[in-house]
Amino acid sequence: MKKHYQDQAFDYAKHEAPPRTPQEQVLCELFAEVLDQPQVGIHDHFFDLGGHSLIAVELIKRLNKQFGVSLSLAVLFEEPTVAGLSDKLNTKGTSHALDVLLPLRKNGSDQPLFCIHPAGGLSWCYAGLLSQINGEVPIYGLQARGIGREEKMPSTITEMAKDYIRQLKSIQSSGPYRLLGWSLGGNVIQEMAILLAAEGEDVSDLFILDAHPRQFYQAEGTPTEEESLIGLLALAGFDPSGFRVHRHTNYGRCYHHIDSRG
């Protein structure tokens, strides 16, 4: 899943108007699929790309299934671009792509799935789950603090886990909970599950993807700042080869660049 998502993200990063959020990522893919196009930018006009009413019906059908909404065909005529439809889906109006709690799919009657970020701090990589998981399952990403704005950072995984538990309880007040974590996120959800169990809460599903015991991270040593910055850009969907990391480049500048794109 990691390679598939990153390969797609790198292709979009070369496009004139690439997606700025996970939601726009999925919409661009839907547009490209139904229009049989290799790529679609967020400002490309559906009907200018060869779309017609029959294809429009198919697009709205797939969109409603993936996002768990009930948009009508008229919406596509009003907003025939990815950017316009993204606004109609109303996930950008109340949340920001760099917020700690990132709604990937708000709607659905099933219990939600909470996905914790890997080491780079962003949960955009989980957008690929929207097409793989039943549309009745709401999906939320939990992202590291300090990305969207300056604020106090957790000093331990336990502090991070407690923070994320508070965040998920703002959506689902009691269990059973579904947790998913890739890479460092796997270590975080393990700690979250321990803390939730201590509170008497049930964790029905715990999905740990490609994570290692903490002592392995310690044995490997701390990555260099350049390695960390390159990894951060890759996780955000940018091609790191297009950036030069020099002495003036830091996390703030990288996050500012990411923020300016979404």
Measured over the CA atoms of residue 181, residue 187, residue 188 and residue 194, the dihedral's sign is: positive
CA atoms within 13 A on the CB side of 27: 31
Least confident stretch, 8-12, 21-25, 190-194, 257-261: 8-12
- pLDDT range class, residue 235, cuts 50, 70, 90: low
User: Does the pTM of the predicted model rise above 0.85?
Assistant: no
Query: Average pLDDT of the chain?
Result: 79
Domains of the chain: 1-94 (1.10.1200.10), 96-221 (3.40.50.1820)
User: Letter for the amino acid at 241?
Assistant: S
pLDDT of residue 95: 56
Three-class SS state of 179: strand
Rg of the chain taking only CA atoms, in angstroms: 19
Q: In terms of DSSP bridges, do strands 113-116 and 139-142 run parallel, antiparallel, or are they unpaired? A: parallel
Please give the pLDDT value at position 11. Answer: 44
Q: In sequence order, which residues have a C-beta less than 8 Å from that of residue 207 and are 6 or more positions away? A: 178, 179, 180, 181, 189
C-alpha distances in Å from residue 157, one per residue of 27, 178, 190, 191, 249:
34, 19, 10, 7, 27
Q: Please give the share of the chain, as a percent, with pLDDT higher than 90.
A: 40
pLDDT at position 82 over 70? yes
Tokens of 213: 């015991």
Say whether pLDDT at 257 is over 90: no
| Segment 60-64 long-range contacts (CB within 8 Å, at least 24 positions apart) | 62/30, 62/33, 62/34, 63/27, 63/30, 64/135
**What was the pLDDT predicted at 12?**
41
**Closest residue by Cα to residue 129 from 44, 216, 68:** 68
